[in-house]
Copies of this chain bind each other. A is one copy, B any other.
Amino acid sequence: MKPYEGEMLLDLEQMKWDSAGLIPAVVQDVNGEVLMVAYMNREALAETLETGFATYYSRSRQTMWRKGESSGHRQRVLEVRVDCDLDCLVLKVEQMGGACHTGYYSCFYRVIKDGKIGVVEETVFDAETVYTK
């Protein structure tokens, strides 16, 4: 089956936004590493597609979140994938700096082992320096 043909071609309006108008977005780098999961509203997705850089909606701050605006750790979006239920996205990105506000490259720097949660990565930047500029 080839892309963009016949009945399989859908409009963005057919995506299933949740009751808060949001959709989760898994963010993955060019090597396949999962960096973070964030949320988008229609405006964030539109801005992401228009600018080519990831913009999310911050649920905690209740505002648009232009990733990297203060840290410089932007995400150039290479591809946006949509799932079978039209209620989830995967963004393939080129990550500048680190994705996580704690200084790690990925937010998923911990693993579960023997019933405990432990850190298995090294930080790639100093979060205190980057976020107090």
Number of copies: 2
Task: Report Cα–Cα, A32/B92, bound state, in Å.
Answer: 12
Q: Which residues of the partner chain B approach A79 to less than 8 Å between Cβ atoms?
A: 111
Scan residues 76-120 of chain A and give those whose CB is less than 8 A from a CB of chain B.
Answer: 79-86, 88, 90, 100-102, 104, 107-113, 115-120
Whether B116 contacts A4 by the Cβ 8 Å rule is yes
Whether B113 contacts A4 by the Cβ 8 Å rule is yes
Number of interface residues of A (CB under 8 A): 52
Residue of B nearest to A28 (CB): B34
Q: Which of B5, B33, B49, B122 contacts A115 (CB 8 A)?
A: B49
Beyond A9-B118, A102-B84, A108-B81, whether A37 also contacts B26 by CB under 8 A is yes
Beyond A10-B117, A12-B115, A117-B9, whether A108 also contacts B123 by CB under 8 A is no
